[in-house]
Structure 1
Amino acid sequence: MANILVVDDELGIRDLLSEILNDEGHSVDLAENATQARAARQGGRYDLVLLDIWMPDTDGVSLLKEWAMTGALTMPVIMMSGHATIETAVEATRIGAFSFLEKPITLQKLLKAVEQGLARNTVNLQVASSAAESKAMASPVTAAAQPAAASVASGSDEPAPSQPAAAPAGPQAHQGFDLDRPLREARDGFEKAYFEFHLAREGGSMTRVAEKTGLERTHLYRKLRQLGVDLGRNRRNSG
C-alpha cells in the first residue's frame, strides 16, 4: 500500500514497527541512525517516515531540519520519543513534522497516526499533480504565440505558420487559472468560472443551477452577486 521508512536506534522497536506495518500491507525500510536514514532517503521516495528523536549520531529533530532545508521533506514525518519535552515536540512540528508519538507506542495510536499521515501524503500528491496539470495546460497558449512573435522580431514578410483554430468559447471551453495570484483571488476566480459554466449549461435557470451546485437559491443569488456574475448575460446567451 505505501512505502514507509522507520528510523530508530533500538532494534526491538524497529522489528516491532516493521512487523506491524508489514502486516498492514505496507513496504517497510529500516534505518538505525541518521546516516542510514539519509542514504535511504536519497535512494528512494517514501510516503511516510517514522523518525526517532534521540539517536546516537544525529538527533531526529536535526535530521528533520536538514531535510526541510534541502527540499527532501516531501513526505509526512511522524516523530517518536519516550523522553522528549513539549518544547521538543513543538519545535519538530514547527520545522515540518506531521505528528508526534510518545513511547511506548500503542498499536491503536500507531495505526491511527500512520493512516492520517498517509492521507495527508495523498492530498499533497493530488495538489502537486493539479498544479503540474494546470501549468502543462497553460503552456500551449504561450507556445502558439511564439511563431508570430519570431516573425515580427526577424522583420520577415512571410506569414507565420498557421495555427489550429482556437476552441470555441462556451460552457465546455477550458478555463485557465493564474496560480500565482493570492489564494483568495484565485479561489474567487475559480468560483466565478464554475458558476458561469453551470449557468451557461443550464440556460440561466437558477433552479437547475441550485440543484446542480447543491446551494439554496437565496445563497446562490448572494454568491453570484458577490462574485460579480452577470446573470442577464447568461440569460441572453441562452435565448
Structure 2
Amino acid sequence: MANILVVDDELGIRDLLSEILNDEGHSVDLAENATQARNARLDNVYDLVLLDIWMPDTDGVSLLKEWATSGMLNMPVIMMSGHATIDTAVEATRIGAFSFLEKPITMQKLLKAVEQGLARNNGNGVPAPAAGTQASSGAAQAARPAGGAPGLAVNGAAGAQATAVAPAPEVDQGPLAHQGFDLDRPLREARDGFEKAYFEFHLAREGGSMTRVAEKTGLERTHLYRKLRQLGVDLGRNKRS
C-alpha cells in the first residue's frame, strides 16, 4: 500500500499508530525524535509522514521547515499535537503541512486523514494546501478536542489488569480456566497470546455477541473484527451480531 513514517516521542502513540496502519496494509517506520526522523527521511522515500509537534530535541514545526527549505517536503505531512495553538497551526500550514490531527486521535479521523493525504500524493484529486488556504480548518481542528469522540488509547488488552480477565463465578470458561502463558518468549508473542485469551473469554461470556464484546472491551466494531482476525480467533463459534 503506502510507506508511512510516524514521528512521535511517546512510545504508546508510536506503537498504536503503527498497529492500526499495519492493519490497513501500510508499511510503517517509526522515529521517536527529529534526529531519527531526519535519518529515516534521508534513507527512505515516504508517501506520507505523521509528525508530532512537541518533541524533546527539535519540534515538529522546525523539522517541517527544514524539509521545506531543503526541498525534501515532497510528501504530505500530517501534524499531530495535544496542545497546538491556532498560531502553531497557521505556521505549519503556511510551511506546507497537509492537515492537523488533535490528540487524542480517533481511529476514524486517523484513517480519513491518511486516506486524504495519500490521495493527494497519488494525484487523485485532493489538492495540496496553498499557503494559508487550509489554515482556518486545520487550526480549528488543532485548537479543539476531537468532538468528544473516544481517542486512541494504548492497547487496552495488553494493559488490562489481571482482574479484567478473571472469570465471573457463573461463567463456565472450559479450557480458558486453565489458560497459562509462556513468558519465556518475545514480548509481542506473549502479548498476542494474552490478547487472544482475553477476547476469547469475552466472546464466550457474551455468547458471541460482537456488539457486547465491543462495548466491554472499548473497541470500535471494525477495529475489533480486524483485531480478532489478526489474532486468529475463531469467529465462527457462537457468533452473533
Q: TM-score, normalised by structure 1?
A: 0.52
In structure 2, distance between residues paired with 1:42 and 1:13: 23
SS in structure 2 opposite 1:123?
A: coil
Bigger-Rg structure (1/2): 1
Alignment partner, residue 104 of structure 2: 104
Tell me by how many angstroms 1:42 deviates.
Answer: 0.1
Tell me by how many angstroms 1:86 deviates.
Answer: 0.8
Matched to 2:61, the amino acid is V
Matched to 1:57, the amino acid is D
Q: Which runs of 5+ in 2 are unaligned?
A: 128-241
Matched to 2:5, the amino acid is L
Alignment partner, residue 172 of structure 1: none
Alignment partner, residue 54 of structure 2: 54
Tell me by how many angstroms 1:3 deviates.
Answer: 0.1
1:114 aligns with 2:114: yes
In structure 2, distance between residues paired with 1:86 and 1:12: 26
Residues 82-109 of structure 1: CA distance to partner in whole angstroms, max 9, x if unpaired? 0010110111000000000000000000
Matched to 2:95, the amino acid is I
Alignment partner, residue 3 of structure 1: 3
Tell me by how many angstroms 1:4 deviates.
Answer: 0.1
Cα root mean square deviation, aligned: 1.6
Matched to 1:61, the amino acid is V
Alignment partner, residue 28 of structure 2: 28
In structure 2, distance between residues paired with 1:99 and 1:3: 18
Identity %: 89
Matched to 1:41, the amino acid is R
Tell me by how many angstroms 1:26 deviates.
Answer: 0.1
Matched to 2:111, the amino acid is L
Q: Which runs of 5+ in 1 are unaligned?
A: 128-239
In structure 2, distance between residues paired with 1:102 and 1:16: 15
Alignment partner, residue 16 of structure 1: 16
Q: TM-score, normalised by structure 2?
A: 0.51
SS in structure 2 opposite 1:83?
A: coil
Tell me by how many angstroms 1:52 deviates.
Answer: 0.1
Residues 37-57 of structure 1: CA distance to partner in whole angstroms, max 9, x if unpaired? 000000010000000000000
Which fold has the larger relative contact order, with Cα–Cα distance below 8 Å and residues 6 or more apart in sequence? Answer: 2
In structure 2, distance between residues paired with 1:25 and 1:13: 18
SS in structure 2 opposite 1:92?
A: helix
